[in-house]
Amino acid sequence: MPELFAETSGRLKEWASRSEVLGVILVGSKSADYADHLSDDDLEVILTDEAHARLSPAQCSEVLYAPEGDPRRIIYDTYYESLSDLTHKAGSPRDMEHWPYERARVLFDRDGRVSAAVTAARVMTTEFRRERLLHAAVDAWIAGRRAEKCVDRGAEAAARLIIARGAKALSRILFALEWRWVPLDHWLEAELKTLDDATGAGRLLIDAVKRGAAQPLKEAVDTLEERLYGEGIPRPDERIALFLELIHPSRAAERMIHGLY
């Protein structure tokens, strides 16, 4: 794992000396396996609830730039949040509330609560994963077919939009199959390479987006059929029935979290 910049290490010692600071977490590319010459130190500084409540939204961010360069390089980018906010992320349905912690590195932890909250935020429950796979399988399956119809009608922009949405659904499948959360868009390609993707569906996903083509998306879904069936997802000939079940008003709350359509 790449080392912190010297300026970050110095600031870390200052944070650790303040009683209201409960922990410091390294997230972003340096906590994963794809840091490069453009990477900075992405940090979350966890404060007591009382200390955090005294900050305005603008005060919750701290960025240090290198003194020279055009554009000036970021050395560290810090976000201040409360322990309660971090703890509540374990129950959030949003990937952004979980994915950064999959490989996060706790740099400082005053009493163990920050490490415990980070560990809890990584977890995807069985029920959540089940619902995600159901909705994403339907959404990705429909997207390829809808995109082809749009192309036949001469609506190329609509087709590309649907393909992108279908790729989003497919990414939900691929990561959920490995009990993982979907990364931020700008790290999708790097994170896809970390999957045990024996079918090559991730490669087809990228191909579909780059080309704006429906066929790779459809092929990717097809390659996953056996694995999805093993997870209890109905076969294609039963998928319309699943679609009708998922769009029923009784599933509205679930659809607000998992559905694209």
Q: Summarize pLDDT for 87-115 with one digit per residue, the tens.
A: 999 999 999 999 999 999 999 999 999 99
Surface-to-core class of residue 117, CB atoms within 10 Å of its CB (0-12 exposed, 13-18 middle, 19+ buried): buried
pLDDT, average across residues 2-25: 95
Mind listing the pLDDT tens digit for each residue in 39-83?
Answer: 899 999 999 999 999 999 999 999 999 987 766 789 999 999 999
Residue 33 clears pLDDT 90, i.e. is over it? no
Average pLDDT of the residues of the chain: 94
Residue 240 clears pLDDT 80, i.e. is over it? yes
Residue 229 clears pLDDT 70, i.e. is over it? yes
Q: Looking at domain 126-258, which of 1.10.3470, 1.10.760, 1.20.120, 1.10.357 is its CATH number?
A: 1.20.120
- For the chain, which residues make up each domain, given as ranges? 6-121, 126-258
Q: Which CATH class is domain 6-121?
A: alpha beta
**Is pLDDT larger for residue 159 or for residue 32?**
159
Can you give the pLDDT at residue 59?
97
Can you give the pLDDT at residue 189?
94
For residue 2, give the nearest of 51, 75, 58, 69 by alpha carbon. Answer: 75
User: 40 and 27 in contact (C-beta within 8 Å)?
Assistant: no
Pairing of strands 41-47, 72-82: parallel
CA end-to-end distance (rounded Å), the chain:
40
